[in-house]
Amino acid sequence: MSLRLGDAAPNFDAKTTIGDINFYEYLGDSWGILFSHPADYTPVCTTELGKTALLQEEFAKRNVKVLALSVDDLGKHRGWINDINETQSCAVGFPIIADEDRKVAGLYDMIHPNASETFTVRSLFVIGPDKKVKLTITYPASTGRNFNEVLRVIDSLQLTANHSVATPANWQEGEDVIVVPAIKTEDAIVKFPKGVKVVKPYLRYTPQPNK
């Protein structure tokens, strides 16, 4: 059964390019991103890992630890990292799991038999400090992910976890947000002193509260 939002993210021990890890211990009190790749030395994956490496500081600013996975072995991973660093002008500093027995892929339902019997699809999980699944995104093997979108949804998840707001379509950091329906307008005016714009009784905007 696939993981659903709010489910506990399965813990695991794994061999990675930075050594053996326990997933929960690796995350500690941080947010986490776990994302899979169909195989090493594939073109789309190479660009994805390069883009992630180039955004490492952005993930660190958000207290997010990144962990990638492929079903190939550590030797292939290390050789592939050299290629990634060379071709994408980056330095991969996050671990890549060697999931040769597909244990982690099985725990996270990363292999979809109708797409491939052996390779993982492009699954991505955002996991909160409480070790629960906050977001899942799954792409087919042929389509590369948009990691600026991953950063955007992390900004939204972290904001909405701490404030009684939601983020509208195409929201970007710093833009107005939506007051959640559970808060009455008179209470919202007190709670959000920067102002509340009422478009409809159920659609009310306020400036981003943590800015």
- Convert the pLDDT of each residue in 92-129 to its tens digit: 999 999 998 889 988 898 865 444 444 555 789 999 99
DSSP count for the chain of H helices, then E strands? 7, 11
CB-based burial, 131-163: b 16+ in 10 Å, e otherwise: eebbbbebbebeeebebeebbbbbbbbbbbeeb
pLDDT over 70 (residue 71): yes
- Do 72 and 104 lie in one domain? The reply is yes
pLDDT at 86: 97
Based on the fold, state whether residues 47 and 137 are members of the same structural domain.
yes
Residue 171 sits in a domain whose CATH number is 3.30.1020.10
Residue 164: exposure state from Cβ atoms within 10 A (0-12, 13-18, ≥19): middle
Q: How many CB atoms lie within 10 A of CB 57?
A: 7
Specify the pLDDT at position 185: 96
Residue 211 domain flag: no
What pLDDT score was predicted for residue 115? Answer: 44
Active site residues: 45
Averaged over 53-67, what is the pLDDT?
Answer: 97
Closest CA to 206 of 155, 166, 162, 154: 166
Residues 168 and 122 in one domain: no
- On the question of pLDDT at 154 being above 80, the answer is yes
